[in-house]
Amino acid sequence: MFVGHFGVGFGSKAVRPRVPLAWLVAAPVFLDLLWPLFLIAGVESVRIAPGDTAVTPLDLHDYPYSHSLLMAVVWSVLFGGAYFARHRDRAGAALLGAGVFSHWVLDFVTHRPDMPLYPGSTTLVGLGLWNSVAGTVVVEMLIFLGGVFLYARATAPRPGASHWPFRSLVFFLLFMYAGNLAGPPPPSVGAIEVAGVLMWLLVPWAAWVERTRVPTEPGRPGTNAPADTPAAPAPTSSSSSS
């Protein structure tokens, strides 16, 4: 899964508007942000095998430290803990931890049985949605577009700010998704590593988006009134003397 993870991040803004979008986006893709680093370090490995599934040409046979069930729990706790240490926001930390773990849940749905329960486990799990291109696209687009919709309702453009940071990020993710589906297999494992490391740039891109939008008025999702817009003063009554 690719854009579905970002959909979870965008949609999470409606749950906890005070959490920065960069954190919300990084959480559900965090396992994929770690994966290229483990590939470069030689801790994990991947093979290019066109036809391995209908959706991806990658044989994900060895990624126990980034994508096993146990390590997904560990990374969820560490990510949420890092946010809590910085912001002292328990609810936000819990949401981010859940966001990290959502990656494993969505990958469990899409991957063929290649996800270990823990490092060294011989039990591999996965429901195999990737065997159907149509099914994968429908599920991913529902999650992604639903998340984008929730984010758009939970925030409003900052007065005078451009719409393009948000729009360009959405369009870029859709473009990359289409390229992954329709394009040729990657030429080498090194190219996979470079592309994976470049994914880290999407986190500051999300931070750029955050600077152009503000949460909508509490209790009135979808309005264009920013949450920090001061309320108009109540009218005062005056008495006239004759």
**What is the maximal distance between C-alpha atoms in the chain?**
93
Please list, residue by residue across 41-71, b when 16 or more beta carbons sit within 10 angstroms of its beta carbon and e when fewer do: eebbebebeeebbebbbbbbebbbbbbbbbb
CB neighbours of 44 closer than 8 A, spacing ≥ 6? 35, 38, 62, 63, 64, 65, 66
CB neighbours of 60 closer than 8 A, spacing ≥ 6? 46, 67, 111, 114
Residue 160 falls in which region: left (phi positive, over 0), alpha (psi -120 to 50) or beta: left
Reported as type and span, the H/E element at residue 3 is helix 3-11
CB neighbours of 11 closer than 8 A, spacing ≥ 6? 146, 147, 148, 150, 151
Question: How far, in Å, CA of 102 to CA of 108, rounded?
Answer: 10
Contact between 192 and 46 (Cβ < 8 Å): yes
Position 234 scores a pLDDT of 44
Position 198 scores a pLDDT of 97
CA angle centred on 30, ends 26 and 35, rounded to 5°: 140
Question: How far, in Å, CA of 33 to CA of 8, rounded?
Answer: 16
Along the 242 residues of the chain, how does pLDDT read in single tens digits? 899 999 999 999 999 999 999 999 999 999 999 999 999 999 999 999 998 999 999 999 999 999 999 999 999 999 999 999 999 999 999 999 999 999 999 999 999 999 999 999 999 999 999 999 999 999 999 999 999 999 999 999 999 898 999 999 999 999 999 999 999 999 999 999 999 999 999 999 999 999 999 998 654 434 444 444 444 444 444 333 33
Contact between 63 and 38 (Cβ < 8 Å): yes
Position 239 scores a pLDDT of 38
Position 218 scores a pLDDT of 55
Quote the tokens at residue 95: 């949401």
111: number of CA atoms within 13 Å, CB side?
20
